[in-house]
Amino acid sequence: MPDVENGSGAIPMPPKNTQKKAKISIPVRTMTLHTAQDIWGRLCQDLARRLPDRPFRDWVMPCKPIAFDGDALWIQTPDLSTKLWLEEQMADEFYDALALMDLPNLKLTFSTGGAKPKEEATEKHINFQAQPSPSSEPYSLPKGFESYTLENFVVGPNSNMAFSAAVSIIENYGRTNLSYDTNLLFVYGGSGLGKTHLMIGIGKGLVAKHPHIQMAYLKVETFLHELTGAIKANNTEPLRQKYQSKNLLLFDDIQTLTPTMARTQEEIFYIFDYMLQHGKQIVITSDRSPSQLEGLHQRLLTRCKGGLTVDVHPPEFETRIAILKKKLEDPSLYGYPPVPEDVLTFIANKAKGSVRELQGLLKRTLFQADFLGTEVSLAVAQEAYRGATGNEPTASVSIEKICEAVADHYKLSLSDLTKKKSRQKEILLPRQIAMYLARELTTASYAEIGRVFNNMHHSTVMNAIDSVKKRMQRDSDFHREIQGLLNGIG
């Protein structure tokens, strides 16, 4: 990271999009293909370094630039599938690449048509961007967050507490008689599990209920970029006041702060401290809990620990199915053929790590069917999985393999785990866990799982699995242990 105190080093760019005008501005009438090709070429050079070879070849290389006007770069895609994939699955990579080009505010517009935008339409676009109305634009969010609302968030045992906290913040905003303090909400969990979705959902919910609220979305890279400019101008006070004046601050990925970013952490601390003293709302996301944030200075860390902390875990099988079905309701997927239940089951079994992985495999399956001009089927989904991961889709996990892994993990014999009739906790709990994993990792019915465990009745298996789910919901350490087994076996 650059040394902002001395103004040295390359400045990382803010993520994605803002509504401000880009630094490079070329009049519409001088718009040339050469300029568009130059920017696209530089983008592709960076993307080639960021992306694996196959995604770069499949999704980026077939595209070509068609126009640039100083505010937006128009890019032609070969088909609608590619357009949707680039917009929703590669937004972070595109905007990170733009940041390194010092064009954080440049808009990317993907189109399936080859014609250049009409001049009059372009001028209208520029005028709208150049003169935004503060009253009609109380906040600015990166592109790709349009669907991030609490209504679109699928709640499961993995996220129930975090979602309840989000709803509570919206319902109790401005109240001072609460028995607990939610002015700072700290949401942590692995990448792609919905932390940012929850945070943006809180922001949109508060603005909808209280239209006067002024909200800001902020990432470390964005603030560092702004702070560097303020230090060069020898005046950081306006920057501090810019965020202190907000009623709501959404601070994404705080774990990217490092110990060497002393001045950045100092300014962030002053902003947090002022907002909390004046009863304003802060929502922070991180990939780890406050106690595991080694890069934060003590007083900033104390602020993070002083709020309400909630975590988000990878979703279990039923929640993954619900997420897939919810995603299929997205307007961007209207017109695609229906997805059979066996395909949803296959995707839910293969994409267990994160919501992002789950939605990515669903979209690749839909695009694969669209590209082949065929119905969505299990064979299409398997080919999509092979193309996305390089792994064979038919490689399955047997209940026997699951039992062996659980027995080894809990230092039991396989016979004791599956055959011994015992209510001892040392055997009962691992057996329940093995049943839960069998339900998650295979397509076996409750009755089929019961037969492996000394012909247990299917209702006993259902109760055992339900017991594990409830414990995962209330015990985060236990949830992480089970997730480790899931990932290790799967």
Domain ranges, ordered by start, for the chain = 28-130, 150-312, 328-389, 399-489
**What is the band of 177 on the pLDDT scale with cuts at 50, 70, 90?**
low
Is residue 115 predicted with pLDDT exceeding 70? no
Spatial distance between the Cα atoms of 177 and 215, rounded to a whole number of angstroms: 24
Question: Which residue, among 291, 198, 212, has the nearest Cα to 248 in the 3D structure?
Answer: 212
Whether 390 has a pLDDT exceeding 60, the answer reads: yes
Which CATH number, 3.30.499.10, 3.50.50.60, 1.10.1750.10, 2.70.150.10, labels domain 399-489?
A: 1.10.1750.10
Using pLDDT thresholds of 50, 70 and 90, give the confidence band for residue 325: very high
> Does residue 448 register a pLDDT over 80?
yes
Cα 281 to Cα 310: distance, rounded to the nearest angstrom: 16
Dmax over CA atoms of the chain, in Å, equals: 82
pTM for the model stands at 0.65
Averaged pLDDT of the chain: 81
At residue 383, φ and ψ (nearest 5 deg) are -65, -40
Report which of residues 416 and 129 the model is more confident about.
416
DSSP state letters, 88-112: HHSHHHHHHHHHHTT-TT-EEEEES
Q: Which of 116, 98, 107 is nearest to 28 (CA)?
A: 116
The pLDDT value recorded for residue 270 is 93
Check if the beta carbon of residue 282 is closer than 8 Å to that of residue 252: no
226-230, 249-253, 269-273: segment of lowest average pLDDT: 226-230
Q: Would you say 43 and 59 are in contact if contact means Cβ atoms under 8 Å apart? A: no
Q: Is the pLDDT higher at 348 or at 337? A: 348
Which DSSP category does 154 fall into?
P
Rounded Cα distance between 252 and 249, Å, is 10
Q: Give the strands of the sheet with 64-68, arranged side by side.
A: 64-68, 72-76, 107-111
Q: In the predicted model, what is the mean pLDDT of residues 381-400?
A: 79
Least confident of 35-44, 132-141, 328-337, 459-468: 132-141
* CA-closest candidate to residue 94, choices 76, 108, 78: 108
- Please report the pLDDT score of residue 23 as a whole number: 37
Q: What pLDDT shows up at residue 450? A: 92
Question: Which own/partner contact pairs does 88-92 have at CB distance under 8 Å and 24+ positions apart?
Answer: 88/144, 88/332, 88/363, 89/360, 89/363, 90/51, 90/55, 90/59, 90/60, 91/16, 91/142, 91/143, 91/144, 92/15, 92/16
What's domain 328-389's architecture? Answer: Orthogonal Bundle (1.10)
Q: What is the mean pLDDT of residues 224-229?
A: 85
The class of domain 28-130 in CATH terms is alpha beta
pLDDT above 50 (res 50): yes
For position 490, what pLDDT does the model report? Answer: 60
Kindly indicate whether the domain formed by 150-312 is annotated with CATH number 3.40.50.970.
Answer: no
Least confident range of 165-174, 175-184, 229-238: 175-184
Give the pLDDT band (50/70/90) at residue 187: very high
Question: CB within 8 A of 408, min separation 6: which ones?
Answer: none
Q: What is the predicted pLDDT for the residue at 143?
A: 67
pLDDT beyond 60 at 19: no
β-pairing, 72-76 vs 64-68, is antiparallel
Domains 150-312 and 328-389 share a fold: no
Please determine, for residue 306, whether its predicted confidence score (pLDDT) is greater than 50: yes
